[in-house]
A and B are shown apart, each in its own frame.
Chain A
Amino acid sequence: MSSLPKRIIKETERLVSDPVPGISAIPHDDNLRYFDVAIQGPSGSPYEDGTFKLELYLPDDYPMCAPKVRFLTKIYHPNIDKLGRICLDVLKNNWSPALQIRTILLSIQALLGAPNPDDPLANEVAEEWKSNEALAIATAKSWTEQFAKEGD
């Protein structure tokens, strides 16, 4: 395997030296392109007090293409499907090489605080969100309680 691009090394260093509140991203020792990520649910959202685990992978042509990110913790959210895949424009066609791991994780955290059922990935969840928001939020809360609390 060839050496890691300077950008990835520096981003990793800066994530450690200047961490983002409520977000951690730690690279694997044996694959520095693969990160274990934990995001705190934003306060005021149904995900509050939950810690959500994600995996993040930097493909070979990063930063010319977006990192691959997926939720590992089960989550009830109209823009996140059963497999943990995330529907977020900056992870797809609106990716820009000026964005970073840090900014992407912040966007994902923001998505937890502002679900967008009009642009769904998880269709049933989005339907429920639109037809009965109170119930959907209650479900999201209970899933958070069930799957995203520490001490498992």
Chain B
Amino acid sequence: MENVYENKMSLEFLSKSSNEAFARITVASFASQLDPSIEEISDIKTAVSEAVTNSIIHGYEDKIGIIKIECTLFANSIEIQITDKGKGIENIEKAKEPLYTSKPELERSGMGFTIMENFMDELKIESVVGVGTKVTMKKVIKDLKDSSE
């Protein structure tokens, strides 16, 4: 990973579902500095929405806690880190499986991590039970001006 970054921002908010739209729109608007395509922007929005929702419904469950988002812009990519201090994930491999959900009664489909993995270029999940979860995602923004070379 490049270590020369162009820009950084961070954001902290309460784990309320009304903040889901705020979080994804804020990250998308920060990412727009890289001049991404419409598809790249909506991929980022969807992935951020998945991770933030997971922190709210799985991490903190019915409690209110703080969700932190840190974004770093590099020359042609954005790295997004979403952290909660919630209950953590026992088995990360299992959690990543398509269709696996611990909350089928809430009509969750178990597709969140699959979407993050497919819509972004890199996905890393770190979690400690009782301590919290950190999801790091990276999206490469293709430079359309270079694609003809």
A and B associate: no
